[in-house]
Structure 1
């Protein structure tokens, strides 16, 4: 059986180290059989990537890539918190998109995360989601994504 790490590698990704919280909060919280993951940014080794607003400094494609990077950080948090073998399913994905007032492709940006979850987690990736446009986000990044997951 192919592992989550192997699927990531086949797609050309590497599981990053789980980012530390940027403030006075926890990166994740396990409550009964639910795992709540705080908003994850497109950060690599503490350095923010994809800074700017969709529809202004950043393209739809760059937004999609930013969502993928945030999703990789979510996967790192899942792995650190419970390990992939204990993940039953992703329940909900919430995406916040830093965009101009006239940008209207928020859902396509968040597809970067949903598509990655689907390819890597397969049957464990089914989720509902919400996507919200914002006038700004921390560190001027393009996206912030949080997740609720169910554990075995």
Structure 2
């Protein structure tokens, strides 16, 4: 089963890659690597899911937001290299906009990690960091960046 068919089976589709709001690109290819800029969880209106995890946003809600960030990363990867079935995730860096007391950062970023494995299988397994931040741009709940490798 292909990655796009797996996405459809999950009831998901790739979102439109948003235009950067500053002086950067959504991703860059260097040889067989794709370096993807951080993506946040967009809502249906195109804005970001916002708030502090551990205060007004629960860990379960933030897990779903990390899934949305992962879906956005897959869209960027697909825009740089059309065949998702020839991509593997090397590393992700997940940031959680959390209260100082919050300690479930790995469980939140599992939303992105789980999505990658569901869609890409073993090629979705990766190294990763999951950290808490005092704030994120636009007060978004999570932001995730990634490195993918092209398997030609």
Give the match for residue 135 of structure 2.
136
Normalising by structure 2, we get a TM-score of 0.93
1:3 correspondence with 2:9: no
Residue by residue over 1:11-43, the C-alpha shift from the partner in whole angstroms, topping out at 9 and shown as x without a partner, is 121211112212100110100111000000112
Give the match for residue 151 of structure 1.
150
Residue by residue over 1:18-74, the C-alpha shift from the partner in whole angstroms, topping out at 9 and shown as x without a partner, is 122121001101001110000001124672232001001100111001100000000
Give the match for residue 52 of structure 1.
51
Alignment root-mean-square deviation, CA: 1.4
5+ residue gaps, structure 1, are none
How far apart in 1 are the matches of 2:84 and 2:67?
21
Normalising by structure 1, we get a TM-score of 0.93
Give the match for residue 102 of structure 1.
101
- Pick which of 6-15 and 31-40 moved more: 6-15
5+ residue gaps, structure 2, are none
Aligned residues: 151
How far apart in 2 are the matches of 1:20 and 1:65?
23
